[in-house]
Structure 1
């Protein structure tokens, strides 16, 4: 049974089964063909024997001796028209005579436990009947079938050994790939060898190499993310440590209150950075997403309410255009966070007016759009704006540079895409496009 668990063993078993079925088919076809030919030949002999005896006045002694040969498997009977038996032969071992009544032409009958083929002929003077056991024909056909199968049976061990060796040679490249994969360490991400692989196996190894490449990119991105996160966290934690020292050394009163305010602000910034990092980690490819029916219009309204206090303090006007509910399927927390980050970025980076629109785009697919009248992003820097911890040149607004990275990651997790363009308000336009498949 263990042999059948390997590809080589399964192929060998299938080929052996095919060889056995072929041998049986050849033997069966040979038996049927030889039996048909034997029937024609023996029927012809029966007819010729009967016709050669019907016109003779008597059976010559030499013919009678030949017909009485114990090894002869024919039975010959001759009667006169009056029913008088003129001659009758009986093969050795035959215990019962043929019926003394002839049927002209060919016929079959059952006698003494075996089947007989009979031919009868009549003349104006006599009736001749010649019979032969059908077992003779069956034995001849079976012997011919056995002879046709015997060479296959004799050659079968040699053919089986050759097939086993050829399968081993054909699967040797796959064995080398298996050995190469088993000999690698946990951190090895080099492509597996594909030289000499069969056409049916090469795509599988190519796909596996592609998976290794994507895993390598994911591991590199993860290491880069951890390094960047550690670097970004070092600064606020150091600032918190310094502010705590200033608070300890400050005198009670206004100086201490200012130190407490600065410490609270540092804690808020560190908390916001950690929240952004967690949001980005939840939106990374491969992270589990809560798929459930939701309304894009309601999500945009909730995100707008989240940022409204910050907009009020900064004197920024927020508006929402969403005439109809926009049902879709996705992760409400991730999508709400993405929309909130877009509005928050517009407010923090100098916009005075922010317009949020939830509408249907091309072919009726949901579309989320955020327009502002801020400084915008130059076209040559828009792709880099999606990188982690990337902030625009000359920007002094507070933030971690993770907003657009979180938006793109969350959109990809939901099967959507993010684009940046010039806004009619003279600032930046950000759009999240959903494909038709996610619309309900």
Structure 2
């Protein structure tokens, strides 16, 4: 049974079964063909024997000796018209004589548990009946069928060995791919060999190599992300440690209160950085996310409500244009975080007015747009600001450099695209557009 679990074993078993069925079919066809020819030949001999005896006046002594031979398969009976038996032969093993009444021409009868083929002929002076057991014809046909199968049976082991070897040669490239896959370590992402692969297997190996390439890219991005995150976390955590040490050594009073405030601010920045890192991890295209039906217009209202306290402290006016509901399917937390980051960046980097629009763009596709009147981003830097931990030109603004990276990751997760352009308000325009209206 273990042999049938391999492709080579299954192919071999199917080919062996096909060979056995073919041999049986050849034997059966040979039996049927030889039986039909034997019937014609023996019927002709029955008829000729009966006709030759019918035309003779008597049975010659030499003919009688031949007919009386126990090995002779024919039974001959001759009667006069008055019903007097003139001659009768009975081969060895025959327990009952033929019936005394003959049927002219060919007929079949069962006698003594055996089937017989009978031919009867009559003249004005006598009636001749010649019979032969059908087992003779069946035995002849069976021997002919067996002779046709014997060469196949003799050659079968050699053919089986050749088929097994050919299957091994044909599947050798697949075995080579298997060894290459088994030889790699846990982090091996090298593509598997595709040389000389069968056409049915090559697409599978190509698809697997594509998967390995995507995994390698994802692992590299993950390693880069972890390295960047560790680097970014090291500075605020070191600063917190120093501030804690200064606070411990300071005397009660205004200096201690100032140290506590700085420590609280450092903790807030560290918490914000960790939240941004978690949001970016959840927004990655490969991350599992719950997709729910949602309304982009309502989601935009919620995102503006999240940023409203910050905007009020900075004196920034937030407006929303959402004339119609925009139903989509997606992760509400990721989309809300992306829009909140766009508005939050506009507020932090000096905009006085921020306009958010939730509408339909080209072809009716959903579109989220954020316009501001702030300093904007030079065209040469607009692609680079989507990189992780990439800050704007104004380094006095607090931030982690992850906001736009989170926006792009959320857009990719939802099959959308994000772009930056000049805004009619004089600042920056950020657009989050879906690929089609039916996403």
Under a length normalisation based on structure 1, what TM-score does the superposition of the two structures give? 0.90
Q: Which moved more, 1:429-438 or 1:281-290?
A: 429-438
In 1, Cα distance between equivalents of 2:425 and 2:198: 60
The residue aligned with 2:311 is 311
Moved more, 204-213 or 224-233: 204-213
Please name the residue that 2:432 is paired with: 431
Native 8 Å contact 1:385 1:404 kept in 2: yes
Answer yes or no: is the 8 Å Cα contact 2:345–2:403 preserved in 1. Answer: yes
State the distance in 2 between where 1:57 and 1:364 align: 112
TM-superposed deviation, 1:342: 1.9
Range with bigger deviation, 267-276 or 195-204: 195-204
Asked whether the 8 Å contact 1:418–1:433 carries over to 2, the reply is no
Question: Which residue is equivalent to 1:275?
Answer: 275
Q: 1:399 to 1:17 in 2, by over 3 A?
A: same
Residue 338 of structure 2 corresponds to which residue in structure 1?
338
Quote the residue 1:368 is aligned against.
368
How far has the Cα of 1:290 moved from its partner? Answer: 1.7
Contact 2:4/2:10 (CA < 8 Å) preserved in 1? yes
- Give the 3 Å change call, closer, same or farther, for CA 40–372 of structure 1 in structure 2: farther
Q: In the alignment, is the contact (CA less than 8 A) between 2:416 and 2:432 conserved in 1?
A: no
Aligned to 1:353: 353
Alpha-carbon RMSD across the aligned residues, in angstroms, is 2.5
Q: Tell me how far apart the structure 2 counterparts of residues 105 and 393 of structure 1 sit (CA, whole Å).
A: 117
CA distance in structure 1 between the aligned counterparts of 2:321 and 2:293, rounded to whole angstroms = 21
SS of residue matched to 1:139: helix
Structure 2 CA distance for aligned equivalents of residues 369 and 223 of structure 1: 33
- Residue 208 (1) aligns with residue 212 (2): no
Greater Cα shift, 17-26 or 191-200: 191-200
Give the 3 Å change call, closer, same or farther, for CA 349–106 of structure 1 in structure 2: farther
Cα offset, 1:22, TM superposition: 1.5
Question: 1:113 and 2:137 equivalent?
Answer: no
**Aligned pair count?**
438
Deviation at 1:302, TM superposition (A): 1.0
Query: Per the alignment, in what secondary structure is the counterpart of residue 351 of structure 2?
Result: coil
Cα deviation 1:197-249 (Å, max 9, x = unaligned): 33333333333332222222222111111111111112222333344455456
- Would the aligned equivalents of 1:411 and 1:417 in 2 still touch at CA under 8 Å? yes
Aligned to 2:75: 75
Indicate conservation of the 8 Å contact 1:367/1:434, yes or no: no
- Work out whether residues 372 and 429 of structure 1, in 8 Å CA contact, stay in contact via their aligned partners in 2: no
Instruction: Flag the 1:260–1:107 CA change in 2: closer, same or farther, 3 A.
Output: same
Find the aligned partners of 1:273 and 1:320 in 2 and give their Cα distance: 28
Contact 1:74–1:131 (CA under 8 A) maintained in structure 2: yes
Distance 2:228 2:376 in 1: 25
The residue number in structure 2 matching 1:183 is 183
Tell me whether 134-143 or 280-289 shows the greater mean CA deviation.
Answer: 280-289
Matched with 1:293 is 293
With 397-406 and 63-72 compared, the bigger mean Cα shift is at 63-72
- Contact 1:335 / 1:410 at 8 angstroms: preserved in 2? yes
Question: Counterpart in 1 of 2:85?
Answer: 85
Quote how far apart the aligned CAs of 1:363 are.
Answer: 5.0
Q: How does 1:157-172 map to 2 (within 5 A)?
A: 157-172=157-172
State how 1:31-430 maps to structure 2 within 5 Å: 31-248=31-248, 254-394=254-394, 396-426=396-426, 427-430=428-431
C-alpha separation between the residues in 2 aligned to 1:42 and 1:372?
109
Q: TM-score, normalised by structure 2?
A: 0.90
The answer on whether the counterparts of 1:376 and 1:422 sit within 8 Å (CA) in structure 2 is yes
Q: Name which of structure 1's ranges 29-38 and 235-244 shifts more when overlaid on structure 2.
A: 235-244
- CA distance 1:332–1:52, change in 2 (3 Å): same
For 1:210, what is the secondary structure of its paired residue? helix
Aligned-residue offset at 1:11: 2.2
